[in-house]
Structure 1
Amino acid sequence: MPRCARLKSNDSIYHIMCKSISDTDLFRCDADKKVFMGYIKKYQEKYEFKVYAYCLMTNHVHLIIDSNGFDISKIMHSINQCYAQYFNRRYQRKGHLFHDRFKSIIVKDERYLLTLSAYIHNNPMAIKEYRECPERYEYSSLSVYLGIDHDKFETLDEGFILGLFGPNVKKARESYYKFVFSCKDNKIRKTIEFEDQPGEYRSDRTILRREYSPQDILSFLEENLGVERKLLYLKYRKESKEFRAIVVYLLRCFCGYSYSQICKIVGNITSARVAVLFNIGYELVNNDSKYKFILEKFLDNCENRDKKF
């Protein structure tokens, strides 16, 4: 029986749920949880999505992710595939790790978002030693929300939800604390799983536009790197390799193109090579002083869609 198409849009906020298969724990130790959070950080840097809350339990994960204009399926496929490969390699096992596809529910409005965050942050109460103090659980974002700990995984944007409680950070933390601990688990679960509300939550967030064309990308790079696009089709030259890598990175991130689609644009190249070039492009625009201005300038230009590159 075919699976139902996933309901999604690239400007939505999602409740993401990932669960391991029945006979396997998703995380066998704290080191595994740190690796999973590391993969979130890795792909957050590449795809520019936002994380509003998280909680990693023994056999499942809850996340609130703002896709920020990118495809949520590509985000989660990247994270989960890398973690499954790590897990199987570390524990010398084969086969699937995750139970079916990850589940994703579009966050519909502010009330749903707040209730969802409380539900996620109350998850550690299922663990005996955290039943009365879920804020002490290291692999939940609650401690960051309450100002007890810093964002050690460097992935969290807690300000968006806290901002719904007012502009004063201290008072917002206090209000959020009261809200989370006043929520009853059964009431939250009913709201999360069964309540049907129309529409989708978009608020006044700034969303990265991702519908640029290859022509936009190439014109921008020609102007700002001072090169001709024919360099894209030349091989065995360092400057050509770097140019191709940056093109691939921008096509992937800002056109939303798959590796196979990029193959057709670049020409005479495999999907595996595109994946390699994507990683090279990521390193160049984030770490190479020669190219670090590219991403910032491209994002600045993106603020006005009609501006000519």
Structure 2
Amino acid sequence: MARGGRIKIDGAIYHVMIRSITEVPLFKRDKDKDMYLNEMKKRQEMYKFKVYAYCLMTNHAHFIIYPNGADISEIMHGLNFKYAITFNKIHKRHGHLFQDRFKSKIVDTDRYLTVLSAYIHNNPLKIKGYEFQPEKYKYSSLKVYLGLEKDETGILDEDYVMKFFGSDVQTARENYIKFVYICNDERLKEEIEFQNEKTEYKSEKTLLIRDFDPDEIMDFVAKETGVKKVMLYIKNNRNTKVARALAALLMRCLCNFKCNDICKIFGNITQSRVSKLCSIGVELITTDDKYRNIMEKFISQHQPQIA
């Protein structure tokens, strides 16, 4: 029986779940979970989507994701494909890792969103040792929601959910504890009062329009890097690798282009090379201060002006 098409709506928030095949754990060790979250962070730099909550278990994981105008399927398929290849290589295995394609469901109400976040954060209750303290579980966003730890992954935007529980942080955290947990409320309340770093929650859901002109991107990158635009079309030139990587990344994110679309722009280049250039671009915007805000700079200069 043919699989039904995935329902997608611009501006929608998704509950995303991934699961491994029955006989293989999705994450054999903590390093595997770190690897998945690190790869998600790289994809986030590329596509600018937001993660509102997450929890990684042994054989499955849950996420609340706002694609921000990107294609949820392209985000997850690329992420899971890269993880599966690396996982198989590390653990010396072959074959499928994921159980079918990822599952996704549109979060269509604020009530569903808040209840879903509680459900995701309660997943560790099933693990021995965490029955009464899921906030101690490392691979869940709950500890960040409650202010017990900072977001070491760099992927989380907890403000969007927490704003429904109160505008000031202390009240929101107290309300969220009551909403999610059955016991240990007072112990948690006392613990988080000493780590109240924020003063209020403010998070708006905006939609990044991804129909920019690739030619404008090439002009912009040429100017920002000091490379002549015509040189961006020449392959295997060390002097243009940075510029080509940035151009590929911006087109992947801001034009909603696939690798084969970018191949047509550059000409005489393979999809695997485009993928490599995008990876180099992600590395540049995360490690080089000169290019850290290049995507935001392009958007601010080229987005339509409202009359």
Identity of aligned residues (%): 49
Give, in whole Å, the separation in 1 of the partners of 2:204 and 2:147: 25
Superposed CA offset, 1:57-84 (max 9, x none): 1111000111122111121122212221
Amino acid in the other structure paired with 1:305 = P
Give, in whole Å, the separation in 1 of the partners of 2:87 and 2:293: 36
TM-score under structure 2 length normalisation = 0.86
Shift of 1:45: 2.2
Q: Which residue does 2:196 correspond to in 1? A: none
2:245 aligned with 1:263: no
Which aligned pairs between 1:119-130 and structure 2 lie closer than 5 A?
119-130=119-130
2:304 aligned with 1:305: yes
TM-score under structure 1 length normalisation = 0.85
Q: Which residue does 2:272 correspond to in 1? A: 272
Amino acid in the other structure paired with 2:151 = D
Amino acid in the other structure paired with 2:7 = L
Amino acid in the other structure paired with 1:300 = S
User: Where does structure 1 lack aligned partners over 5 or more consecutive residues?
Assistant: 184-202
Q: Which residue does 1:43 correspond to in 2? A: 43
Which aligned pairs between 1:1-309 and structure 2 lie closer than 5 A?
1-181=1-181, 204-225=204-225, 227-292=227-292, 294-301=294-301, 304-306=303-305
User: Where does structure 2 lack aligned partners over 5 or more consecutive residues?
Assistant: 184-202
Shift of 1:222: 4.5
Amino acid in the other structure paired with 2:304 = R
Alignment length (residue pairs): 287
Shift of 1:227: 4.7
Q: Are 2:222 and 2:229, in contact at CA under 8 Å, matched by a contact in 1?
A: yes
Aligned CA distance change for structure 1 residues 269 and 143 (closer, same or farther; 3 Å): same
Amino acid in the other structure paired with 2:156 = L
After superposition, the CA RMSD in angstroms is 2.2
Give, in whole Å, the separation in 1 of the partners of 2:265 and 2:175: 52
Superposed CA offset, 1:77-104 (max 9, x none): 2221222122212221110000000001
Give, in whole Å, the separation in 2 of the partners of 1:79 and 1:206: 23
Aligned CA distance change for structure 1 residues 283 and 35 (closer, same or farther; 3 Å): closer
Shift of 1:225: 4.5
